[in-house]
Structure 1
């Protein structure tokens, strides 16, 4: 039976706990990876969380699997991963994917605006020069 987006989101939100900025900061201080899964143009237009690592959601499977030539060594199954996107939806789905791939500690921070509103430091958007 085909899944709907609502069903996928329900499963993702059930599997990946949402955490506060304060909790995320404490986990990052302890070694967790803050992972931004937005697309590159979003980072240019909206800035990014200071210290975040960027992997677009469309490449996550390839970057997360050590068996591929595209593996990103920042992603390790023994390291907590805190995901964010623009609003939290893609982060939840990406978190569920990582859980399905065997990553144990995976959390959803929500969106970049949650990070900023919670006091997380962020860079400014790239000035397009116009």
Structure 2
């Protein structure tokens, strides 16, 4: 009755995400809460947009839209383990973002050689 639905969001290899971000070809978004960033750090150069704020910040029609979030630019998201970033990626696709990826968790970013900062 309640089967698992397959996500339309593609996973991206963390090494590819790191390389594309370094070239400036990919916007990386950390959707974790501020306390999680304080505890572990974040990807260097990533935008921090907690999942709860993403519908406002990512929607170009909303007055609170963050201009750094462009539906025409490739985007990759991560959280702690990949669940929230998957939900966030689905949301971005519904908002019309054309190229959206789920990196997975912060550990995946680090394992892919991504630089971090506190």
TM-score normalised by the chain length of structure 1: 0.83
Q: How many residues align?
A: 117
Q: Which runs of 5+ in 1 are unaligned?
A: 125-130
The question of 1:62 aligning with 2:56 is answered yes
Partners of 2:24 and 2:49 lie apart in 1 by 21
The answer for the alignment partner of 2:45 in structure 1 is 51
* Counterpart contact for 2:89–2:100, Cα < 8 Å: yes
1:39 aligns with 2:33: yes
Give the corresponding residue for 1:94: 88
Query: Is contact 2:44-2:115 (8 Å) kept?
Result: yes
User: After superposition, where does 1:113-128 map in structure 2 within 5 Å?
Assistant: 113-124=107-118
- Answer whether contact 2:18 2:113 (CA < 8 A) is retained: no
RMSD value over aligned CA atoms?
1.7
Aligned to 1:15: 8
Comparing both structures, which one devotes a greater share of its residues to helix?
A: 1
Work out which of the two has the higher radius of gyration on C-alpha atoms and give 1 or 2.
Answer: 1
Runs of 4+ in 1 over 4 A off after TM superposition: none
TM-score normalized by structure 2? 0.91
Q: Going by fraction, where is strand more abundant, 1 or 2?
A: 2
- Runs of 5+ in structure 2 lacking a partner? none
Spell out, residue by residue over 1:36-71, the C-alpha distance to the aligned partner (whole angstroms, 9 max, x if none): 000111101111111111000001011111222210
CA-CA distance at 1:26 after TM superposition: 3.0
